[in-house]
Structure 1
Amino acid sequence: MGRTLPTYNMLILQELDKDEWKRFRRALRRDDQELFDELFIAPKIQMQAGAYASNAKPFETMLICMLIELKQELRILEQRVAHTEGLAI
Structure 2
Amino acid sequence: SKTAGFRHDSIPAGIAALKEIGKDTNITVDSTESAAQFTTSNLARYDAVAFLSTTGDVLNAEQQKAFENYVATGGGYVGIHAAADTEYEWE
What TM-score range do you get, normalising by the shorter chain?
A: under 0.3
Task: Identify the structure with bigger relative contact order (alpha carbons < 8 Å, sequence gap 6+).
Answer: 2
Which of these two proteins has the greater Rg computed from alpha carbons? 1
TM-score by length of 2: 0.25
TM-score by length of 1: 0.25
* Higher helix residue share: 1
